Amino acid sequence: MDREALDIAYNNRAVVPDWQGYLDRWAVSGAKTYEKVTHRDMHYGDGPRQRMDLFLRDEADAPTCLFLHGGYWQWNDKEGQALVAEGLLPNGISAAIGEYSLAPDASMTEICEEAVAQVSFLSKELARQGRNPNNIYLTGISTGAHLMALALGLDCVRGALLISGIYDLEPIRISSLNAPINMDMLEARLNSPLHMVPTRVSPLILAHGGLERPEIQRQSKDYCDVLNGLGHEVDLMPVAGTDHFSVLETLISPTGVLSQALVGLVERTRLA
């Protein structure tokens, strides 16, 4: 596809008329979620957006899931999608909601480094609080899924649920979305999970909305095929009847398809 075709193929907002409504509702509802916060605005680095919130269950042995928001590396913040904690806590899973620097203030490489740094920071913080530092799960949507895919090889990660991610950045590099990011071909390649698969990959679920743009669905399928071909444990999970925004609501709901898929993953990979 040429640049014009890619701009259309990756414009998720164009096919969801109420996309702003989703963001507004999540932000309003998420304000109540913060009544349950354990630690807010913990800094894993010196940058103003290098922040993390923890919603910890009382049980010290509860697994902890780190979630990163979407926004094509240039929009949104952790508060806008912290509502995800509502789908985790009732299922026995503590939640960490992370944030990262955005383009053009940070390069793609810098943003990716922040994502991996968040996982390491969380592991150390859990240990400091007397919790198991190696009982971490990862999740994220869109950009967040891409960023969390880069941390699948860390020893502290037991599994991941990645939603509607971009795992090959080359189409983004060619499209108009690259204007504020300014990736060249090499940077796009080095930060693409599809092309940079570590030796160890935690068991994962690659989910996407069944009504999403074909390119978004293809990205998950191609990444799944690569991982399966290398012998890694991965499941492809289309969520019927959902688009790029409504799919997240099945994680926000404690009984939703994706929150229950995460519960199943935790049970399969539970620490002995």
Q: Would you state the pLDDT for residue 271?
A: 67
Q: Would you state the pLDDT for residue 196?
A: 96
| CA–CA distance, 147 with 205 (Å, rounded to integer) | 15
3-state DSSP of 70-93? CCCCCCCCHHHHHHHHHHHHHHCC
Distances 248 to 23, 113, 137, 155, 232 between C-alpha atoms, Å: 11, 25, 17, 27, 25
In the structure, how many helices (H) and strands (E) does the chain have?
10, 8
Indicate the number of domains in the chain: 1
Q: Would you state the pLDDT for residue 270?
A: 84
Contact 163, 247 (CB under 8 A): yes
CATH number, domain with residue 221: 3.40.50.1820
Is the whole model's pTM more than 0.85, yes or no? yes
Q: Which domain holds residue 262?
A: 3-268
The series of mean pLDDT values per 10 residues for the chain, 272 residues long, is: 95 96 97 97 98 97 97 97 98 98 98 98 97 97 98 97 98 98 98 97 97 98 98 98 98 98 95 58
Strands (E), 44-181: 51-55, 64-68, 94-98, 136-141, 157-163
Q: Would you state the pLDDT for residue 134?
A: 96
| CA–CA distance, 91 with 85 (Å, rounded to integer) | 10
Contact 249, 259 (CB under 8 A): no
DSSP classification of residue 131: S
Q: Would you state the pLDDT for residue 229?
A: 97
Q: Would you state the pLDDT for residue 4?
A: 95
Contact 125, 131 (CB under 8 A): no
Contact 63, 93 (CB under 8 A): yes
Contact 66, 148 (CB under 8 A): yes
Helix (H/G/I), strand (E/B), else coil: 35: helix
Measure the CA angle with vertex 73, ends 4 and 219; round to 5°.
60
